[in-house]
Amino acid sequence: MISEYTATKLCRSRPLLEILQSLDYVAWWHISSYFNPANFFGNMQNVFQAFQPEANLLCFHKETAADLVGFPQVTGLDDDWRKAIARC
């Protein structure tokens, strides 16, 4: 089974990771920007800067042979999207 969870709020990362760990899931961070400089209108002003980024967890049961290239794997219960960005 594959699951995806939003984990943008730092205060919610640990409780979510605890639940996933208890269910024997492993997770990777999917972190993306709301702003696309190649947007339809060609607007170069990033009005979403204060709301950056969108952080989600892509989760697989540990029995699934998943290895997501280009996505930082969650390293532990204290991990969050900021730490994941720093590792990249």
Report residue 67's pLDDT band, with 50, 70 and 90 as the boundaries: confident
Question: Tens of pLDDT along 15-43?
Answer: 999 999 999 999 999 999 899 999 999 99
Mean model confidence pLDDT for the chain: 88
Cα 78 to Cα 18: distance, rounded to the nearest angstrom: 10
What is the number of other CB atoms lying within 10 angstroms of the CB of residue 69? Answer: 5
Check residue 32 and report its DSSP letter. E
pLDDT score for 1: 54
Contact (Cβ atoms closer than 8 angstroms) between residue 54 and residue 32: yes
Check residue 75 and report its DSSP letter. -
Non-local CB neighbours of 9 within 8 Å, separated by 6+ positions = none
Q: pTM for the complete prediction?
A: 0.80
